[in-house]
Structure 1
Amino acid sequence: MKKKYYFILAITSFLFFLSCTKNFEKLNTNETKYYEVDLNTVFPGTLYRTMDLIGELNIQGRLLTFSRYGVLQFHASPAQDMGDNYFNKFYIGIIRDLDRLEAEYSDREGFENRLAIVKTWKVYMYYIMASMYGGVPMSEAITDGTVGIREYKYDTEEEMYTLMLEQLKEAGNLYNISNPALGDYMETDPVFGSGGGGRSDLSKWQKFTNTLRLNIAMHSQNISMELSKAHAIDVMKDETKLISSITEMAKIQWGKDVDLSSSYYFKRFIKGQTSFDGGYPGLNEYFALYLFSYKDPRLASYAQKSNELIMNGVAKTPNNTPPFLFTDTLVRRHAAFCGNDISDQEHYCPDHETHQLDGLNEQRLDSILVNYTMPYVPMPQEGIGLAAGWEWEFVPGREGQGIRYNDPLNRSSPYNSSYIHDDFLKEDASIVLLSWADACFLKAEAAVLFGLPGAQSYYEEGIKASFEQYGHSSELSEYMEQNGIKWNTDGMGYSDRRLLYKANINGKGGNENHLEQIYKQRYIADFFNCLEGWNLERRTRALRFPPFFLNGQSSDAEGYNPVYNYWNERFIYPISEENKNKEAYYKAIENLKTVSPHFRNDRWGDNIFTSLGFSKLNPDLINADILYGGNKRIRTSAQYFAKKYGKDYDEVVKNAKQLTGETNDKEALVKAYKYQFRELWSTFLP
């Protein structure tokens, strides 16, 4: 076997985590350590570092927040990461090794499968970077190990997407599935190996390569529709070479070695923690609206129930933890509660004597305030209910008493929230990169945009794929019959608690509405794939979530608004690049200005609020100050909680008895829902 040596850091096993140097330019200078490049030795380490980097980007990089899938309470304001850390982890920790592997197999006959695998993963890394920063060094990022350079250009977004798509097309055609040369695969493949660690399934690798190509093609449509269309149509010519089952999904899994292979989330949130203060990812209210509005059974797979927190398989909620209680209004028959014992407020009527004499009591109804628990309690996007300059509106009819609305998501305990399901965060959690559902929704989108047949069937298959992925196939038919879910129908969703957003799905009509259904279903199916959730909204603006509101919190983000901010459109470049690679750095900013649909001049142009070229213009920017700036009075209405257990008091009692088997009304209510009577609001004749 021909040997090649390169100037790169040694990586000897799957569990070795590479330390990163401080400056990006070091990847273009000689190192002092050598090793023989081999896929089985090197590639598993790059996968492990990729997993940890994705986990870190989701949490520290705030992709979880940007995607609106989850909430971390300590991420209460915009922030600008200086970029150096992530640049080094991409280039020096991952891409440099992939570049050496690519060089190793590019001129070796009989190793086409290995080369295709390496090319695919390398493109995936650049896809993440282009999604984060815009144009980055690609064509000149890594040298061949013989000549070090300190000046390297930043490719434009169009150059990057063109190159990525070409390389994936080449990689997809390289695979020799039926008759691979001896050793032209990984012996222990962490992605597509039998049981997660056996020999590579080359067919699945090829399907990942081609599906990634389709994903990037659709992702790049705002850069060049011609480029997008050409690659999408080409890759869809043979759908048998795209991901088409649960077993073919591209996912990678951490291990159960606490110190070495365990998940980033386990190490970040669970390992060594002796107490819980609520600093754990919770289910975002805006995302939850879609699950609540359309009775989505995947809610149970995405989130944990209130006061039932499980961390790495261990129940954490202490005994006697106060429950979350929602205040609702119910109508009941007045006569059954028209008593004159003032000590029994639930049965006391201040007009008891009159009501007993006028003969109308059997017709009267009460409107009462009650408290009861909710099974799932989302987290608000921010830790505050009111932005700077806002105040709660007075409750109609109670202005004279000074009674105002308040935040219905106020909690009595940090355990009251629905935290993200343990399956996503546990020690040996998996990261799904592209799923069967993704492939279906991408095909549906391409069919609508490019006039191809089958959009509806692709869309429906995508929902089916997601339900199968999470074990809810038996509940699929009922879900699919709902307006907004059924193809070419509109669905009216719930509002968030501050009445700023509604989870409507406008699917009836032409292509634009059909795309909205496709986009929103992909967003729901991609829960916790934070990069894809963030990318989908920026490139489509289909979800149009409200901004993130502040109440005077400080921020290091230049150009932030102390009242509201739409979340990051990008990451800023490494601060070191301004000095180390100055000409190329400022050229990259000019390139960004040229293609950005919304550019801001803060921080000489390199700021987090400038949209990337692949993005659409956020249409809400023009009216944002009118909608959210200045003084504003807020009403609340947690529609997704209201009448949860029945349309009136009698129905709630009936359901409580059926649930618990209790025959006494009060005992059944308390046992089922921790029911509390609060107040007689009014008595009236219908």
Structure 2
Amino acid sequence: MKKLAYIVSFIFLGAVFQSCTKDFEETNRNKNKIYTVEVNDVFAGTVVRTMRLIQDLSFNKLMNFSRYAVVGFATNPSQDTGDNYFNQFYVGILRDLLKLEKEYTGKKEYANRLAMVKTWKSYVFYMLASIYGSVPMSDALAVAGETKISFRYDSELEIYTQILNDLKDAGDLYAVSQAYPNDLLLRDPVFGGSTFGKSDILKWQKFTNTLRLNVALHAQNLSLDLARTHATAVMNDDTKLISSLDDMVKLQWGSDESLSASYYYTRFIKNNTSFSEMTYPALGEYFATYLFSYNDPRIGAYAMKANQMAPTGVKPMLYTDTLTRQHLKFCTQKDCPTYAAHQADGLNASRVDSVLVDYAMPYVPLPELNSLASGWEWAFIPGRDFRYSDPLGSKNSPYNFSFVQTDFVKENASMVLLNWADAYFLKAEAEMLFGSEGKAQQNYELGIKASFAQYGMSSTVEDYMKQNGIKWNTDGKGFADRRILYRANIRGKGGRENHLEQIYKQRYFADYLNCLEGWNLERRTRVLRFPPFFSNGAGTDAEGYNPVYNYWTERFIYPLVEQTKNAEAYYRGIENLKAVSPYYRANRWGDNIYTSLGFTKLNPDLIFADRTYGGNKIIKPNCEYFNKKYGKTYEEVVLTAKRMTGETDETLALTKAFSYNFRSLLKTYIP
């Protein structure tokens, strides 16, 4: 894939373009300037920088915030006082987009280009407002020749209103018939295809309208009327929404390691001489409970099998379980401590053994850094003088866990901003809020099918959709996590709120590793309600930090430099936060990571959190999702092993299938 390498070779033009703070229009009038290169490749540069920013944010922050994956080194809450991300947003991306927007506005021969620029600008401001809350938008950057000392912070409602209006305008601007044949990008980094060709205007229009629907529903807690106005307008013609896998907003990295490889690849794979579960993203337990509970085949597309990357000879992690078995076969002098008595009484055919065994699991989630909160302890094993240990803590190697599937992190990986399933789930949500329950169900079911199609699993979708909790208007009881703190239930039976829960959870499942969308969805719906992160006394620089537990970050704090260079506007921004936040914290004069943004709902678990997680608690672990994985009895496990391996020898099949190990006989009894 040379697409990104080609783009990156022109990014230096973007840097030059950024530095030109005067007379942008003069550049376009000067026939000696290569304007056509700047038009195409300055925009391409903003896309590449956005891609890198998204993956930077995801790896260092949002994978953990969304609970899609665990990045071990980043599990402790932190606050970033620097201006790195602000600069990437404003200087690295928005400055170019605002200049391009200014250049194309009012020129009908460039209506498509203007629509594309407005769309990308809208997506970037959507990111900004989702992360920080109130930020400069209408007064974001100085224009040529202007000296500014203050940049106003727009409120969240103002920002989302402007984004939605811009997207409406962009949607109306597209001239799909291409009355002006040059009104497109010659090298389109979004919809130019694998050859980085010309723009596909129809796909851009679908991106614009689907993004508008997404932002409208995202903003519903700020203004339901605003959400209704824009959602219903878009839904009036849903042919202009993403309607196939080919329409998805999927950005592509290249294969040149020095120029175009993905941020993930260069950050934790390239030139890495040692492997660590602290830096390689792995499947998180809470998300995994849903995949395990509902036999979701997408787990294989999302995560590697445990030990898959391990060098030869590295032993897998083994899980200890109990099985029953028919005693007769094992009533030997070697295996039966009461052999003589059992042989004499003639009852062996009725006896059953309870045995303790070890075996490997196909998928093993990586635990977040601290298994227990401060003051908690593992329970004692009944009848023993020692305690249980963490079932996910008995690794033999860092390779023992299920790490994020290679397709997401390789050098030429793709990254999806909006997929086909998103469009259906957004329509389902909009129908539940403003339209027809029947249409909501239809779009919900089509959304699941679209997600399975995205991963080439359409042949398995019908069986998946028959399950309680997945089938519309049904409840599903899922597995708990290993500490029995959280259960992957889906409460779909009942009225609107239940149906919305099904829609939201399926969208969350379908958006795996689209970490901003996952984080946003939970904050605006509070439908997943994952437990907090357990600190266990770990240190942090985050003000307002609780040494026992902390719910995940609600927002980023503003850069420290804003307090001196843009002080008046900065403090107004904090007041904007306070005015709309459902949960405002006064720590750090209000600019802290725990204050909820206006687009969010109040986390309903906060009121009971101290009672739930504080003090001394005795934890008896139980990995429900691993128990009896291969069968309830030894005989069933043997059949599973033979089926998996094709081996006929019992011992060989058990060893080859899942490194089976007999530990001990617990008891023998007659049921």
Instruction: Name the TM tier (shorter chain).
Output: over 0.9
Find the counterpart in structure 2 of residue 373 from structure 1: 360
Find the counterpart in structure 1 of residue 531 from structure 2: 546
- Could you tell me how far 1:356 is from its partner in structure 2? 2.2
Find the counterpart in structure 1 of residue 31 from structure 2: none
User: Does the Cα contact within 8 Å between 1:28 and 1:142 map onto a contact in 2?
Assistant: no
- Could you tell me how far 1:126 is from its partner in structure 2? 0.3
User: Does the Cα contact within 8 Å between 2:14 and 2:41 map onto a contact in 1?
Assistant: no
Report the Cα distance in structure 1 between the residues aligned to 2:630 and 2:23, rounded to whole angstroms.
66
Q: Give 1:309-458 correspondences, 5 Å limit.
A: 309=309, 317-341=310-334, 348-380=335-367, 382-396=368-382, 398-399=383-384, 401-452=385-436, 454-458=439-443
- Could you tell me how far 1:371 is from its partner in structure 2? 0.6
Find the counterpart in structure 1 of residue 166 from structure 2: 167
- Match status 1:203 vs 2:190: no
- Could you tell me how far 1:50 is from its partner in structure 2? 0.5
Find the counterpart in structure 2 of residue 189 from structure 1: 188
Change in CA separation of 1:106 and 1:18 when aligned onto 2, cut-off 3 Å: closer
Instruction: Read off the aligned partner of 1:295 and give its amino acid letter.
Output: N
Instruction: Read off the aligned partner of 1:356 and give its amino acid letter.
Output: Q
- Match status 1:308 vs 2:311: no
Structure with a larger share of its residues in helix? 2
- Could you tell me how far 1:81 is from its partner in structure 2? 1.1
Q: Give 1:256-295 correspondences, 5 Å limit.
A: 256-278=255-277, 279-295=279-295
**What is the count of residue pairs matched by the alignment?**
654
User: Does the Cα contact within 8 Å between 2:8 and 2:259 map onto a contact in 1?
Assistant: no
- Could you tell me how far 1:65 is from its partner in structure 2? 0.4
Aligned-partner SS, 2:665: strand
For residues 439-458 of structure 1, give each alpha carbon's deviation from its aligned partner in whole angstroms, at most 9, with x where no partner exists: 10000001001133500010
- Could you tell me how far 1:16 is from its partner in structure 2? 4.1
Aligned-partner SS, 2:324: strand
Aligned-partner SS, 2:73: coil
Report the Cα distance in structure 1 between the residues aligned to 2:537 and 2:15, rounded to whole angstroms.
37
User: Does the Cα contact within 8 Å between 2:8 and 2:48 map onto a contact in 1?
Assistant: no
Report the Cα distance in structure 1 between the residues aligned to 2:106 and 2:582, rounded to whole angstroms.
42
For residues 292-343 of structure 1, give each alpha carbon's deviation from its aligned partner in whole angstroms, at most 9, with x where no partner exists: 111111111000011112xxxxxxx2110011111111000112112222xx
Aligned-partner SS, 2:109: coil
Report the Cα distance in structure 2 between the residues aligned to 1:251 and 1:658, rounded to whole angstroms.
39
For residues 563-618 of structure 1, give each alpha carbon's deviation from its aligned partner in whole angstroms, at most 9, with x where no partner exists: 11001000000111111111111111111111000011111110000000000000
Aligned-partner SS, 1:368: strand
Report the Cα distance in structure 2 between the residues aligned to 1:300 and 1:369, rounded to whole angstroms.
29
Instruction: Read off the aligned partner of 1:430 and give its amino acid letter.
Output: S
- Could you tell me how far 1:18 is from its partner in structure 2? 7.0
Find the counterpart in structure 2 of residue 7 from structure 1: none
Instruction: Read off the aligned partner of 2:181 and give its amino acid letter.
Output: L
- Match status 1:219 vs 2:206: no
- Could you tell me how far 1:386 is from its partner in structure 2? 1.7
User: Does the Cα contact within 8 Å between 2:319 and 2:391 map onto a contact in 1?
Assistant: no
User: Does the Cα contact within 8 Å between 1:208 and 1:250 map onto a contact in 2?
Assistant: yes
- Match status 1:253 vs 2:245: no
- Could you tell me how far 1:35 is from its partner in structure 2? 5.6
Aligned-partner SS, 2:350: coil
The TM-score normalised by the length of structure 2 is 0.95
Aligned-partner SS, 1:195: coil
Find the counterpart in structure 2 of residue 52 from structure 1: 52
- Could you tell me how far 1:483 is from its partner in structure 2? 0.6
Report the Cα distance in structure 2 between the residues aligned to 1:82 and 1:14, rounded to whole angstroms.
32
Report the Cα distance in structure 1 between the residues aligned to 2:409 and 2:530, rounded to whole angstroms.
25
Instruction: Read off the aligned partner of 1:554 and give its amino acid letter.
Output: G
- Could you tell me how far 1:664 is from its partner in structure 2? 2.4
- Could you tell me how far 1:14 is from its partner in structure 2? 4.1
Report the Cα distance in structure 1 between the residues aligned to 2:428 and 2:116, rounded to whole angstroms.
27
User: Does the Cα contact within 8 Å between 2:377 and 2:618 map onto a contact in 1?
Assistant: yes
- Match status 1:492 vs 2:492: no
Find the counterpart in structure 1 of residue 72 from structure 2: 73
For residues 458-505 of structure 1, give each alpha carbon's deviation from its aligned partner in whole angstroms, at most 9, with x where no partner exists: 000100110000110111111111111111111111111111111111
Instruction: Read off the aligned partner of 1:184 and give its amino acid letter.
Output: D
User: Does the Cα contact within 8 Å between 2:357 and 2:662 map onto a contact in 1?
Assistant: yes
- Could you tell me how far 1:31 is from its partner in structure 2? 11
For residues 634-662 of structure 1, give each alpha carbon's deviation from its aligned partner in whole angstroms, at most 9, with x where no partner exists: 11111111111112111111121222232
Aligned-partner SS, 2:43: helix
- Could you tell me how far 1:30 is from its partner in structure 2? 6.5
Change in CA separation of 1:124 and 1:585 when aligned onto 2, cut-off 3 Å: same
Find the counterpart in structure 2 of residue 678 from structure 1: 663
- Could you tell me how far 1:28 is from its partner in structure 2? 12
Report the Cα distance in structure 1 between the residues aligned to 2:10 and 2:54, rounded to whole angstroms.
17
Find the counterpart in structure 2 of residue 23 from structure 1: none
For residues 120-176 of structure 1, give each alpha carbon's deviation from its aligned partner in whole angstroms, at most 9, with x where no partner exists: 000100000000000100000023323131211100000001111011000000000
Report the Cα distance in structure 2 between the residues aligned to 1:556 and 1:641, rounded to whole angstroms.
37
Aligned-partner SS, 1:415: helix
- Could you tell me how far 1:188 is from its partner in structure 2? 1.2
User: Does the Cα contact within 8 Å between 1:27 and 1:91 map onto a contact in 2?
Assistant: no
User: Does the Cα contact within 8 Å between 1:161 and 1:220 map onto a contact in 2?
Assistant: yes
- Match status 1:97 vs 2:90: no
Instruction: Read off the aligned partner of 1:288 and give its amino acid letter.
Output: A
User: Does the Cα contact within 8 Å between 1:285 and 1:496 map onto a contact in 2?
Assistant: yes
User: Does the Cα contact within 8 Å between 2:13 and 2:42 map onto a contact in 1?
Assistant: no
Report the Cα distance in structure 2 between the residues aligned to 1:581 and 1:250, rounded to whole angstroms.
36
Instruction: Read off the aligned partner of 2:337 and give its amino acid letter.
Output: P
For residues 375-428 of structure 1, give each alpha carbon's deviation from its aligned partner in whole angstroms, at most 9, with x where no partner exists: 111111x223222111001223x24x3343533442110011000000000001
Q: Of 573, 588, 613, which residue of structure 2 is paired with 1:603?
A: 588
Query: Structure 2: which 5+ runs fail to align?
Result: 1-6, 29-34
Report the Cα distance in structure 1 between the residues aligned to 2:24 and 2:40, rounded to whole angstroms.
23
Report the Cα distance in structure 2 between the residues aligned to 1:32 and 1:220, rounded to whole angstroms.
34
Find the counterpart in structure 2 of residue 583 from structure 1: 568
The TM-score normalised by the length of structure 1 is 0.93
More moved, 199-208 vs 104-113: 104-113
Report the Cα distance in structure 2 between the residues aligned to 1:549 and 1:144, rounded to whole angstroms.
47
